[in-house]
Structure 1
Amino acid sequence: MISWRKHYKKGLVAIGLLLTTTASVHAQEGDPANGEKLFKTNCSACHTLDKQLVGPALGGVVDRLKKEQNLDTDWLHKWIKDNEALRKSGDKYANEVYEKFNKTAMTPFPNLSDTDINDILAYTSNPPAPAPAAGAAATGTAQDQNSAAALEEAKKQSTNSKILIISLLVIAGLLIWLLMRLRQLVKLNQTEELAELNATRAYSLGDLYKKYHFVGKALLGVLALLAFYGVWNSLMGIGVYKGYKPDQPIYFSHKIHAGENKIDCQMCHSSAKYGKVSEIPSMNVCMNCHRNISEYKGAYMEPGKDKAFYDGEIQKIYAATGWDPESQSYKNKPQPVEWVRIHNMPDFVYFNHAQHVVAGEQAIISSHNKKNPNDQIDVVCKACHGKVDTMNVVQMANDFTMGWCIECHRTTEVDMNNGYNKEYFKNLHEKLKKQYPKTEGKITVDAIGGLECGKCHY
């Protein structure tokens, strides 16, 4: 009897091990490489392998479910294809998962075949080693080449500077020697009376000015004009900060977001199209993406920056919003971010972003590209703010002076095919065509009130 029980227990253990091994083998039957592609396409918005996002971490999920819940891959197939039907069937663990994750229903994937799911599970059980990013290697190689070239150029410039300094010193020495020789020749040729006279003669600035007063007055006039010009330039430069690019409390690279990832400007600056002011995006806008993007995995690296730097800046976003990535909830106290403003229109100036972005979009793009054939733009924002998608740190790209705005109004043609302009200025367009026949029907912004003071100043 005892012997029979021992054999029975050994049999149960063997069956359990067999089921576990079968589940693991079943998961490993898939193609991890194809599973990785399917995972990134269908699952990566809510899951990673190593940590919880919207849903749980999926690394080793097959073995974990077998050990903790005694569930095999068939359960996972049912859950992935239609988890709602599985919950409604009364499955205990399916409902527990649903309750644990705040009753957030997972998107069903009935389109995935059994082979696709096996591939995904194979990837979660045995993910292939990540291949080195070709873009990153190319970037690093290019940076190394640029650094080497810069170093070589610096060495050449240093050598050239040394040669130039030595040459100047030699020339200066020759000039001093020639002056001394000339002085000696003069002393030898002058008479004793002339020498005594030169020794007693006194020279003064007053005597020179009396003798050459016309030249003196002319020089004073030139100096006065130069001084006036310098003061005028200084006064006109007040409030002009072209090239200003302050450090921000959280590093944000427009090159990565707008350039590498092709994120549209208006996704973050939504009020630029429909409002007067293009606002600074709230931290909630950042969290729309970074709730699920907790680390930088891009190929592009700005010189002097590394992955750890970018990951640290993402953590600053979490600290500012009070987000806890472990619990996937806002459990900490949020902290305000003191952004440094770059563009700040004076209070006495009226400027409406919507008027330019919507009504003037095509006209501004067309005008800019005609005036700058080597600096073409595809988005209206770039006409004023420069090619932001190439800037690691955003800077003020233009003067933003009154003269700069007026020059734009004088050269930008009104879009006659714009639905708003075509209807609103219908009669005015016909009048202007007759008034400016040489323009061949092309009307610039100044002709429809673009230079009137009251358009921009209250």
Structure 2
Amino acid sequence: MISWRKHYKKTLIAIGLLLSTSASFYGQDGDPKNGEKLFKANCTACHALDKQVIGPPLKGVVERVKTEGGVDRDWLHKWIKDNKALRASGDKYANEIFEKYNKTEMLQFPNLTEKDIDDILAFTTNPPVEPPKEDKAAPAPGADAAAPADKSTTNIVIISLLAIAGLLVWILLKLRQLVKLGQSEELTGLNETRVRSFKEMYEKFHYVGKGIIAVLAILAAYGVWNWLMWIGVYKGYKPEQPIYFSHKIHAGEQKIDCQLCHSSAKYGKVSEIPSMNVCMNCHRTISEYNADHYMEPGKDKAFYDGEIQKIYAATGWDPAKQQYTGKTQPVEWTRIHNMPDFVYFNHSQHVIAGEQAIINSFNKKNPNNKIDVVCKACHGKIDTMNVVQMANDFTMGWCIECHRTTEVDMNNGYNKEYFKNLHDKLKKQYPQDGGKITVDAIGGLECGKCHY
């Protein structure tokens, strides 16, 4: 009896050790909540839980590596900390994974502790279930029922207005009949002497008529001239684009530098439309939209995800296989800013040579609306626009006014040397500005500068 109890006790101990080992292997000894934080901080650039990004999906990865490669928890720790060294050691399964995923080398994480890795594995094994999000676009209860009621109310109002209008017409007809019945013979004679046609009125008051016609002709000429002067001025123009792109999200919330995408604005005459490959630098790993607090009214996650899929279609990117298919589709962007052919404008001249001068001038004229990037002086606060629009007139007068008010920095190395012999002469020529030299003083109003 005693022997049986000892054997039973040993069996229970063995089962307990087996269960604890199994639990440890599957990551249950870790903290899933802390693992979620570590996962988002270290893994989401290349991995997702439920789909392939650059690397494979990580949900259930502990069970998967055990089934596929017959490896244990220690192998996962080695792989995460230094997969390169593990492959170099000749580990068969490590090299199979490397070959399977296009020889894309995984980052090394020697900074993660054993506890950190256990927490991440616990999260991938049993990720917390998020509560379902409330559908903001769903109609309020009873909205469908209220629609017919609103329609019937509108019909009643229209019928009532028509009835009132008919009643007013009937009253006017009756009043006219009463007036005719009440007219005396004297009134009838007086009516016969009144002007009954435009011709008679013009003959009687022709001087006044000619004066009115002259005034109307002048006003019409001014109106036509004013209309002609504003042809091609489209301030506020903001067309819909084939792929929705929010500058507020990218330049505003994410603080992406303008020149990361519009690089030629700094080094060339024209600020080009970025290639779709520039978008793929980030969106190769960002395949869905998860920033709820950046959403615009009337737009949901499905809308933003659909726009990202348009980028993939344009570049021929297959997110499932993480490779390009070679089937691309050109994107027909609608141009917003476009100078006429007879106007010369060089972006680099303003972005590099005139950067600080333009910023200082703008902030001086707009103390309550200061800018920190030279692009905003012409294009407005682009980092607050969801849909880009033309923020200024971009007329000749608008450019000239800027040249007349923007002060040139005569102390920077280039201007100090280039205008060395003209410096004192210009100060004497423009004493009204207290020695300040604006762009117009150094040729900013010469016709050939902009028209060639």
1:282 maps to 275
Go from structure 1 to structure 2 and tell me whether the alpha carbon gap of 1:72 and 1:422 turns closer, same or farther (over 3 Å shift): farther
TM-score (norm 2): 0.83
Q: CA deviation at 1:232?
A: 0.9
Q: CA deviation at 1:428?
A: 2.6
Q: Are 1:329 and 2:306 matched, yes or no?
A: no
Q: 1:215-226 counterparts in 2 under 5 A?
A: 215-226=208-219
Give percent identity, aligned residues only.
72
| 1:1-35 alpha-carbon deviations (Å, 9 max, x no partner) | xxxxxxxxx9xx9899758724445x222222222
1:447 maps to 441
Distance 2:32 2:417 in 1: 60
Distance 2:243 2:36 in 1: 32
Out of 254, 264, 267, the position equivalent to 2:260 is 267
Q: Which amino acid aligns with 2:38?
A: L
Distance 2:349 2:126 in 1: 55
Q: 1:368-379 counterparts in 2 under 5 A?
A: 368-379=362-373
Other structure's SS at 2:422 match = helix
1:210 maps to 203
1:347 maps to 341
1:395 maps to 389
Other structure's SS at 2:421 match = helix
Q: Which amino acid aligns with 1:420?
A: Y
| 1:179-214 alpha-carbon deviations (Å, 9 max, x no partner) | 9799689945x74xx633643666443343333233
- After TM superposition, the runs of 4+ consecutive aligned structure 1 residues lying more than 4 A away are 13-20, 130-133, 179-186
8 Å contact kept, 2:361–2:407: yes
RMSD: 3.4
- The count of residues paired between Structure 1 and Structure 2 equals 416
Q: CA deviation at 1:381?
A: 1.0
TM-score (norm 1): 0.82
Q: Which amino acid aligns with 2:255?
A: K
8 Å contact kept, 1:248–1:340: yes
| 1:46-65 alpha-carbon deviations (Å, 9 max, x no partner) | 11111111111111111211
8 Å contact kept, 2:61–2:125: yes
Q: Are 1:79 and 2:73 matched, yes or no?
A: no
Q: 1:27-426 counterparts in 2 under 5 A?
A: 27-130=27-130, 187=183, 191=186, 195-196=188-189, 198-199=191-192, 203-299=196-292, 300-426=294-420
8 Å contact kept, 2:195–2:201: no
Comparing 272-281 with 43-52, greater Cα deviation is found at 43-52
| 1:77-98 alpha-carbon deviations (Å, 9 max, x no partner) | 1111111111111111111112
Distance 1:357 1:321 in 2: 30
Q: CA deviation at 1:394?
A: 1.0
Distance 1:366 1:126 in 2: 56
Distance 2:256 2:196 in 1: 75
| 1:135-171 alpha-carbon deviations (Å, 9 max, x no partner) | x99xx79xx9xxxxxxxxxxxxx9xxx9xx9xxx9xx
Distance 1:425 1:291 in 2: 49
Q: Which amino acid aligns with 2:427?
A: K
Q: CA deviation at 1:219?
A: 0.7
Unaligned 5+ residue runs, structure 2?
1-10, 141-153
Comparing 15-24 with 285-294, greater Cα deviation is found at 15-24
8 Å contact kept, 2:30–2:121: yes
Go from structure 1 to structure 2 and tell me whether the alpha carbon gap of 1:183 and 1:99 turns closer, same or farther (over 3 Å shift): same
Go from structure 1 to structure 2 and tell me whether the alpha carbon gap of 1:202 and 1:93 turns closer, same or farther (over 3 Å shift): closer
Distance 1:304 1:351 in 2: 39
Comparing 412-421 with 304-313, greater Cα deviation is found at 412-421
